[in-house]
Structure 1
Amino acid sequence: MTYDPPRPAGRLLLTPEDKEAPARSRRLRRLGLGERPEPALDSFADHLAEVTSAPYAMVNFIDEDRQFFAGLHTPAGGRAARGGKPEVGRRLAREYGYCPYVVVRHKALVLEDVRDYPRFAGNPVVDEYGIRSYLGAPLIDTSGMVLGTVCVADLAPRPWGKAGLETIKETAADLAGRLERREADGVPPL
Structure 2
Amino acid sequence: MTRTVLCVDSTARVSSVATAIEADDSLTALEATSVADAVEQLETEPVVCVVTAYDLSDGTGLDIVDAIRQASPQTPCVLFTDVSPGDIETASFEELIVEYLNRDLPDADDRLSFIVNDIIDHSAQVGFLAPDDEDQRLETLAQYDIDTLPIEESFDRLTDLIADHFGAAVAFIGLIEEDEENFLACTGADWDSLTREDTMCTHSMLQEDVMVVEDIADDKRFNKNEQLENLGIVSYAGANMTAPNGQVIGQVCVLDHEPRDYSASEQDTLGQYAETAMEILELRQSLRDERVSEDEVAETDAHPETKSAAETELEAEQ
Match of 2:135 among 22, 42, 51: 22
Answering whether residue 152 of structure 2 is matched by residue 50 of structure 1, we say no
Q: Any stretches of 5+ residues in structure 1 without a counterpart? A: 76-87
* Residues 182 and 132 of structure 1, relative CA distance in 2, 3 Å threshold: same
Within a 5 Å distance, the mapping from 1:13-92 to structure 2 comes to 15-33=128-146, 38-74=152-188, 88-92=190-194
Give me the CA root mean square deviation. Answer: 2.8
Q: Deviations over 1:128-168 (max 9, x none)?
A: 11211001100011110001000010000112222321121
> Is the partner of 2:198 in helix, strand or coil?
coil
Give how far 1:34 is off.
7.3
Q: Could you tell me how far apart the structure 2 residues matched to 1:187 and 1:21 are?
A: 28
Q: Could you tell me how far apart the structure 2 residues matched to 1:94 and 1:133 are?
A: 18
Match of 2:196 among 86, 94, 100: 94
> Contact (CA 8 Å) 1:61, 1:67: kept in 2 or not?
yes
* Residues 170 and 183 of structure 1, relative CA distance in 2, 3 Å threshold: same
Q: Could you tell me how far apart the structure 2 residues matched to 1:57 and 1:102 are?
A: 15
Calculate the TM-score normalised by the size of structure 1: 0.78
2:209 maps to: 107
Using CA pairs under 8 Å that are at least 6 residues apart, name the structure with larger relative contact order, 1 or 2.
1
> Contact (CA 8 Å) 1:21, 1:63: kept in 2 or not?
no
Q: Could you tell me how far apart the structure 2 residues matched to 1:16 and 1:134 are?
A: 18
> Contact (CA 8 Å) 1:134, 1:153: kept in 2 or not?
yes
> Contact (CA 8 Å) 1:102, 1:137: kept in 2 or not?
yes
Give how far 1:122 is off.
2.1
Match of 2:230 among 120, 128, 134: 128
> Is the partner of 2:221 in helix, strand or coil?
helix
- Name the amino acid aligned to 2:165: V
Structure showing greater radius of gyration is 2
> Is the partner of 1:150 in helix, strand or coil?
strand
Within a 5 Å distance, the mapping from 1:147-166 to structure 2 comes to 147-166=249-268
Calculate the TM-score normalised by the size of structure 2: 0.49
Q: Deviations over 1:9-40 (max 9, x none)?
A: 47966521344443333333321237998232
Q: Could you tell me how far apart the structure 2 residues matched to 1:174 and 1:112 are?
A: 24
> Is the partner of 2:206 in helix, strand or coil?
helix
> Contact (CA 8 Å) 1:106, 1:146: kept in 2 or not?
no
Give how far 1:187 is off.
6.2
Q: Any stretches of 5+ residues in structure 2 without a counterpart? A: 1-12, 22-26, 28-47, 50-74, 76-119, 292-318
- Structure with more of its chain in helix, by fraction: 2
Q: Which shows bigger deviation, 142-151 or 10-19?
A: 10-19
Answering whether residue 282 of structure 2 is matched by residue 180 of structure 1, we say yes
Amino-acid identity (%): 25
> Is the partner of 2:258 in helix, strand or coil?
coil
Q: Could you tell me how far apart the structure 1 residues matched to 2:237 and 2:185 are?
A: 16
Q: Which shows bigger deviation, 55-64 or 105-114?
A: 105-114
Within a 5 Å distance, the mapping from 1:131-142 to structure 2 comes to 131-142=233-244
Q: Which shows bigger deviation, 146-155 or 172-181?
A: 172-181
* Residues 53 and 17 of structure 1, relative CA distance in 2, 3 Å threshold: same
1:144 maps to: 246
> Is the partner of 2:185 in helix, strand or coil?
strand
- Name the amino acid aligned to 1:31: Y
Q: Which shows bigger deviation, 141-150 or 112-121?
A: 112-121
> Is the partner of 2:146 in helix, strand or coil?
coil
> Is the partner of 1:89 in helix, strand or coil?
coil
